[in-house]
Amino acid sequence: MDVISVIRTKRDRGELSPEQIDWVIDAYTRGVVADEQMSALAMAILLNGMNRTEIARWTAAMIASGERMNFDSLSRPTADKHSTGGVGDKITLPLAPLVAACGAAVPQLSGRGLGHTGGTLDKLESIPGWRALLSNEEMLHVLDTTGAVICAAGDGLAPADKKLYALRDVTGTVEAIPLIASSIMSKKIAEGTGSLVLDVKVGTGAFMKNIEDARELARTMVGLGTDSGVKTVALLTDMSTPLGLTAGNALEIRESVEVLAGGGPSDVVELTLALAREMLDAAGIKDADPAKALADGSAMDVWRRMIAAQGGDPDAALPVARDQHVVTAPSSGVLTRLDAYGVGVGAWRLGAGRARKEDPVQAGAGIELHAKPGDTVVAGQPLMTLHTDTPEKFDYALAALDGTFDIAAAGTAFSATPIVLDRIA
């Protein structure tokens, strides 16, 4: 086996054999295949695609590059959720304890933000003392005692994917749907969950800008999960407008706690409940009511235990940025558009996100929204508040926000886009 023949096969629109796939993933993980050679193969996959058999074998080879976790010792069925990323997407934070309060175990392996999309681990690290890095034994203990855990994936889980993802990020091949699907699913299958619900975002603030690409990605991932014995469902959800009223780390923690306390923005509550019902159904739990678990405080109880079990203080004051800048409405009327991508880039430029994985983030930085599409606004009223510890970044963030919203004349009819656009199972 040699890497040149593997590259040529896919370059010439051929189907990679199982032996070729197994060899190239193993050889790249061991350093036998060079980065420039794997980047050539990744580009060939981006341009020429893969069929379902190839994607399944590629995913299996990445899983085989590392360890697999097992939750058979738990007394509860396991259910996990993965989002393809968006702006203000804090859904994991209230969702994991909510589903645990309803009887499932939720082993949530999460990531950090990169670019305009926020990361769950960055948000949680704004809670004093909270730890993202847990050993497998610690993760299992938190899961067993609280019902939910949100933590970083260990180095032993699909190391081939970790190496390949970093390469794709700098070679213009992130968009390859076979590589996106296998990247996500290799980690989730290796994680050992019994069921999985995918939240595939669609819109300006999402990785998938149009619904047909999102459907293709969802179908591919559902197929991979099903073929591996994991009950998998995908919801396609709107990301043309930010979720909730905050984009930023500590800001989103505050909003998530509001949801767990029975309040919070209606769109965040709606999507949290929709995903919770899908997760519980996939786990075989039919008689639980997640809306009741939000209302009666049981989800909040799980949240507090989960945060404390990972070293965090659920009662501690969250960081607040030193400086604020208010953006006001230039005219009166109906807010008809608020672009998620522009808000995400603005929050990132304020310090809420990172351009490189090693960059630090500001816990208090981000954007607080005071109106959403469909709301009536008056000239001069606050539309959003920008938060940062580095006020010299305000102009840079304001440039990203220029042209991100539209205000129509008072009385203009407005029709909101549904949050859940489709379901793939």
**Where do the structural domains in the chain lie, given as residue ranges?**
3-49, 80-309, 323-408
Indicate whether this model's pTM tops 0.95. Answer: no
Catalytic residue among 65, 183, 195, 256: 183
Decide if 5 is catalytic. no
Backbone φ, ψ for residue 305 (5° rounding): -65, -40
Catalytic residue among 81, 82, 123, 305: 82
Q: What is the pLDDT along the chain (425 residues), one digit of tens a residue?
A: 899 999 999 999 999 999 999 999 999 999 999 999 999 999 999 999 999 999 999 999 999 999 999 999 999 999 999 999 899 999 999 999 999 999 999 999 998 887 788 899 999 999 999 999 999 999 999 999 999 999 998 888 899 998 998 888 788 888 899 999 999 999 999 999 999 999 999 999 998 999 999 999 999 999 999 989 999 999 999 999 999 999 999 999 999 999 999 999 999 999 999 999 999 999 999 999 999 999 999 999 999 999 999 999 999 999 999 999 999 999 999 999 999 999 999 999 999 988 766 778 999 999 999 999 999 999 999 999 999 999 999 999 999 999 999 999 999 999 999 999 999 99
Decide if 161 is catalytic. yes
**Domains 3-49 and 80-309 in one fold:** no
The Cα 151–Cα 310 span in angstroms is 9
Backbone φ, ψ for residue 108 (5° rounding): -100, 100
- Maximum Cα–Cα distance for the chain, whole Å? 68
User: Closest Cα partner for 263 from 218, 238, 294, 309?
Assistant: 294
Q: What topology is assigned to 80-309 in CATH?
A: Pyrimidine Nucleoside Phosphorylase; Chain A, domain 2 (3.40.1030)
The Cα 280–Cα 245 span in angstroms is 27
The Cα 280–Cα 286 span in angstroms is 7
From the options 3.30.479.30, 3.90.550.10, 3.40.50.10320, 3.90.1170.30, give the CATH code of 323-408: 3.90.1170.30
Catalytic residue among 168, 188, 231, 277: 168
Catalytic residue among 10, 81, 187, 387: 187
Catalytic residue among 80, 161, 267, 339: 161
CB 366 within 8 A of CB 247: yes
Decide if 30 is catalytic. no
Decide if 339 is catalytic. no
Decide if 82 is catalytic. yes
Tell me the CATH class for 3-49: mainly alpha
User: Hey, is 130 helix, strand or coil?
Assistant: coil
